[in-house]
Amino acid sequence: MNYTVKYKKFHWLFWRTIKNVANDGFVDGYIIDNPMAPPGTPSFRYFTQENGIRYEIPIKNMVFVFTSNREEILKKQNEKRTKQQAEELARRKLENN
C-alpha cells in the first residue's frame, strides 16, 4: 500500500507529484541561509518510492500535500514496528534466562 505526495514552492503555479511513495522522512542538516536555525534542523524531506528511487527535496518555501491513506499506512508501519520490538525483547529475555 503506497501513497502520493504533491509538492510545490509557494510561487509555483503547478504542483509536482511523486506516486507510489512507500516511505518518507527528514534528512537532518543545517539550513545554511538561515543562521538562526539550530543545528540539526531538517533541511530536506526524502520520499522513497516502492521501486527504491529516493527523492530529496529542500524544505525551504515548499508546500507538501499527502493523500489521505498516508496516515493509515503510517499507523500500520508503527504497529508492525512495535510488534517486532516486543517480539525481540521477549526473545532476548528468553535467551538470558
- The residue range of the domain holding 45 is 1-66
pLDDT tens track for 26-85: 887 655 556 666 666 668 889 999 999 999 998 888 999 999 898 888 888 889 889 888
Q: How far apart are CA 73 and CA 23, in angstroms?
A: 9
Same domain, 97 and 59: no
> Across-strand partners of 42?
28
Same domain, 39 and 54: yes
Q: How far apart are CA 78 and CA 69, in angstroms?
A: 14
> Three-state DSSP class for 75?
helix
pLDDT the model gives residue 67: 92
Same domain, 56 and 93: no
